Structure 1
Amino acid sequence: GETELFSFDADWEYRYMDVFPTVNNVSNLMAVTEKVLGGANGSVVTSSPQYTDLVDALDSYDIYSLDNSTEVLWLLEGQAGAFQPSFNPEGTELLVGFGAWFLTRTEAGATIYRFDANGSSFTNLTSEDNTQNAGFPSWSPDGSAMVYRLWDMESGAPKGLQIFNFTTGETTALTTGWDNTPGWSPDGKRIVFTRNGNWTVEYGARWYADRFDVYTIRTDGTELTQVTDSLANDAHAVWSADGRILWSTGMWGFKDESHLSDNTFQPYGQMMIMDYDGSNKQLLTDTIWEDSMPLYMPNEYLGFRSQSSGYKHPPYQLIWKHAFLAS
């Protein structure tokens, strides 16, 4: 049966939720990737902000074949699917990266899809030749362009962030580093992303251990700025509606409670918020699980993903608090 959720704060309400949540205030729609709910196969659903009136907006099996056991296994294991949906300004269409992620990105490509929020149609925007792995798009606030990360499967190395202009059809390289999960700022001036700052071209395709940090850059490629510098991983950064940055950090790891973690593979990641320039960092969550993928719901809710693997808590939760970040 369903697991009842409890909050330690009377002002908070816990709701069972899935990954990569995003919301559009014009259409009043929310979108998530179904990694554990529904078909649990990496499809995208749209819904009301209360997670009702669900619509299958992009079904993974409309792209991957049920007859391909490898692709089906990747979807069910969470190694593939439609990750990081992003609305257009009107909330009528979305972008998403669909394909193989994590370690499977070396075995199969990924492309950016544009699709209707009501699930009526979808179109591939990038290469399907399996030499590139393109993903994690973000639609610009004016609707004219998207930014996404690109991985070269032939060399096994990153190709940084790319900007695609919908009007001209031209693609411009914004960065050349080991960069991921970009997000356009509400004013359209900056892009926030996660970078493995220790990686170099000379290091090639090998994995370089150590940390990831949060960076920002102007859309013309100037003012590259590192805004986190902890010795842990800082990642999954998104913008709040008032131009601040929320992200997940491991800098508070190895606390006394860490041995209580219920078999999660990366415990004690916490949510924080800061100004766009990295100042005024504040801790928002303090749990024994991995809290990440925040969603700013202006004037009403704050939501984020929390991961655990035990029996007392479901693997993904959405936490909402009334007027939490309203200025």
Structure 2
Amino acid sequence: MARALGLAALAALAFAPGASASVIGIDMGTQYMKVASGLDIVVNFESKRKSDNLIAFYRGERKFAAEAANLIRRKPDNVAARLASMIGRNADHPAVQGLADQYLQVLPAFNESAGVLEMELEGASYTPQELTAMLLQFAQAITKDHTGSGVRDAVLTVPAWYTQSERVALLDAADLAKLNVLTLIDTTTAVALQWAIDRVYEEDHYVLFYDMGAGGTEVSVARFYPMSDKGKNVSAFEVMGKGWDETLGGFAFDLRLTDILAEKFNKQVGKGDVRKHPRPMAKLREQSRKVKEILSANVEIPVNVDGLHNDIDFRGHVTRREFAEKTR
């Protein structure tokens, strides 16, 4: 899925007027960012095909991807996450208000004089657009490292639930990054485009595309039909309809696991509620993601977090049955 998204986005603008010879596709997911250049998936500085969609500031330096993720346990108040849920939105938006229940150390605040959301990191304030621009610059940097040449033109994928406000804000971020956006394309539409490129149908054919990401779930139905281009049969398509749930994604499952771990720690300690303390909860939230991935292939997993709260180590285990019951 990740590769199809990137390559389809590129294919959409491969012959766009005014585009440079080098066009990249960027999938700005809620949790990860993927970049494609031509037919290649760009690997980052850690030789990984996807990068944590995080930015951190530590001792005056910007940290991205794995370096930012490594700071979550030690310096969670230096790390900005979930920017895709904030960009182009105000403090009253349900997705922004919901961040307070996700155990994030750094939350946005509304600057009334400027009329925008801001996040404070190492004593400085940044808007979601400014932070997203830095992530786009990181995408350009890893592309140059991977291909040996710079890039100016890009296609960006966006979730189906983005309104005009979010899309304009993303374009503003790209402008700050000096990145020329040829178009924005919905994620499931990008997949449908890739599907059409690889297949030719002799009659109408309907396909349902389903994408559950970290932030939400999108579904679309596309109709593929034959079309003649200079005497050659090719596939064309149209999106017949789409639906989404912005609250149902990987993060929702992570939060259920986070609650399980918090309950177990509270039971271990015997007093107080660790959920009232943002720093240890940030550690448990990060740990829950790893637990979720391991439980997909194992029926149980031991969980150990040193010095979780008040210098108390957390020792426990979680079963797949517990997880399943919590997510019903």
Q: TM-score, normalised by structure 1?
A: 0.31
Q: Which structure shows the higher strand fraction?
A: 1
Q: Which structure shows the higher helix fraction?
A: 2
Q: TM-score, normalised by structure 2?
A: 0.31
Q: Which one has the largest radius of gyration?
A: 2
> More relative contact order in 1 or in 2 (CA 8 Å, sep 6+)?
2
